[in-house]
Amino acid sequence: MSLLGSQVIRQSMAVLSIGCTSTLDLGHTAHEFEPPGAPDEIGEPFDAGDASVPKPDGNQDEFLASVGRWPQFGFDGAQTRHNPDETQISPENVSDLELLWSTSINCSFYGCPIVADGLVHMGTYCGEIAALHTRSGTVAWKRRAMGGAVGTPLVANGMVYYGERDQRRLAAFDAKSGRTVWTSTTYSEIGDRSPALWNGLLIQTDPMVTYGFDAATGAQRWTRSVGAVGRVSPATSEGVFYLSNLGGQLIALRAVDGTILWTGAIGEIGNSFPAVDENTGTVFVSSTDRRLYAFSTQGCRDSPCGPAWWGALEQAGGENGVAVGDGKVYAGAGRILHAFDAHGCGQRECTPIWSAAFGDRIRTAPALANGLLYFGTDENVLYAVDARNGWVRWSYPMLGLLRQFDASVTVVDGVVYAAPTYSSELYAFRRRI
C-alpha cells in the first residue's frame, strides 16, 4: 500500500487583524411560552410527539455531552467530534450496519444531525429546523425560520439554539415543542457558523464579530471584532474559547468577556474548526497550507504564538477540522485522511501514523466513536474506517444531487446519522439484531 500504508477506495456511486471590543447594541426579543395548541406566530403547525426533555442536574458541561446525546456540532464544547460513550458499534461488528430508516421532508437538509433526548434536530436549506424521532424518523415538529438556510443547531437545557444562514438572527426554541423562547440580532449574516455554549453563555460569530449572549434570555453580554471569520464554530475549554479567522490566525478569547488572550499563526487561511485535547492541553487547527497545527492552550507571552508542533498533510484542502480522542488526532485533506499522535513526535514537524486515500475529496472532520471514524466523501459514499490503521470496515453509497458531501456524521447509541449535501434524505443506520 502507498501513502504510508493507505488504501485507495473507489466506488461508482455517488460538503487580518484583531480589533477592539465594540459596543454594538443590536437588541433581542424575548417570547413567553404559549400554552399547548396555541398557533405558531412565525412558523407552521407542528406535532410535539412524545419527546421528553429532562432538565439539567449538576454540571452543565456534563449535561451537554451526557450518554445518548450528540448535542452540538463537535459533540462537546471542546469540539473533539469524539463520542466516548458509544459501545454498540465496533470495528469487529460495524459490517452489520444496515439502514434503520430514512426520512425526506421535501427540502434539502443542511448541517450536522444533532441528537438529544430522543430527537434528531437538523436545519434545512428552506429555512426550517426539524426535530425527528430517533426511533422512527417521523417528524416531532418543524419550525420555519424568518428566511434563509438554518445551520447546525445546539441543544442544551431543554433548548435548541440555532443561527439562520442568510439572516442576522440567532434564536432559541423549546426543544420539546419547537416554540420560540427568544431571538437576538447579530450585526451581519451568521452564515454556516454554529454556536457554542459555556457556563450559560452562548457564543456566536458572524463574518466580522464574535458575540456572547445570555443563553437563557438572549441578552447580548459582549461583542468582539476578531477579523474576517470563515465558516467556523468556536471550541471552548476551561473558560477560554478558540476560533480561527481568514487572516491565518488562531485566536484564544476569555469566554466571560471576550478579551483576546493570545493569537497563533496558522499559515494561509484559517477557515477551520479548532478542537481542544484537554488531556494534552493542546488546541488543534488545520489550515489550507497543508499543515495541522498544535498549540499549547497556555498560549505565550508575545503573540502571535508559534505552534508546539505541526503535522504534514499530504494534499491541500486541510481546512475541514479535526477529530481528537484516544491519544490521536485525525484530519482530512483532499482525499486523504491522516492520523497523528496527539502528543506530537518530539520534533517540530511530525508525519502521520497512517494515511488512507479515498476516491474523492473529504470535506468534513470525521466522527470518532469506539475505534471507528465515520465520514462521507464527494463520491457520496459514507465510510466507517478503523481508527487504528485507516482500513475501511464498512461503506454505503448514498443519493445526492451533487458529488459533494460536506455534512458531518453523528453516532449515538449504536445509530449512525448522515445527510448528504443537497439531499432531502436523512439516513439512520443500526446493526442487524
Total number of domains in the chain? 1
* CA distances, 72 to each of 106, 206, 314, 377, 433 (Å): 24, 18, 29, 22, 29
Residue 290 is predicted with a pLDDT of 85
Q: What is the pLDDT of residue 268?
A: 66
Model confidence at 308: pLDDT above 50: yes
Q: Taking the chain, what is the end-to-end CA distance rounded to the nearest angstrom?
A: 35
What does the alpha-carbon distance between residue 35 and residue 376 come to, in Å, rounded to a whole number?
42
Determine the pLDDT at residue 287. 83
- In the chain, pLDDT over 90 holds for what percent of residues? 50
β-pair partners for 394 = 384
CATH number for 100: 2.130.10.10
The secondary element (H helix, E strand) that includes residue 370 is none
- On the CB side of 332, CA atoms within 13 Å amount to 27
pLDDT, tens digit (0-9, with 9 covering 90-100), for 184-213: 988 777 666 788 999 999 998 887 889 999
Q: How far is CA 49 from CA 36, 53, 71, 104, 153, in A?
A: 12, 12, 20, 18, 20
Residue 61 is predicted with a pLDDT of 44
Per-residue pLDDT, 314: 82
CA-wise closest residue to 257 among 269, 237, 241 = 241
Average pLDDT on 308-337 reads 88
Q: What is the CA radius of gyration of the chain?
A: 20
Alpha carbon 113 to its chain centroid, in Å, reads 9
Contact assessment for residue 339 and residue 328, using Cβ atoms and an 8 Å cutoff: yes
pLDDT of residue 30: 36
**Secondary structure class of 60 (helix, strand, coil):** helix
Reduced to 3 states, what is the DSSP secondary structure of residue 235? Answer: strand
Residue 401's pLDDT is: 56
Residue span of the structural domain in which 332 resides: 2-15+17-431
Give residue-wise pLDDT tens across range 82-141. Answer: 999 999 999 999 999 999 999 988 787 878 899 999 999 988 888 788 899 999 999 999
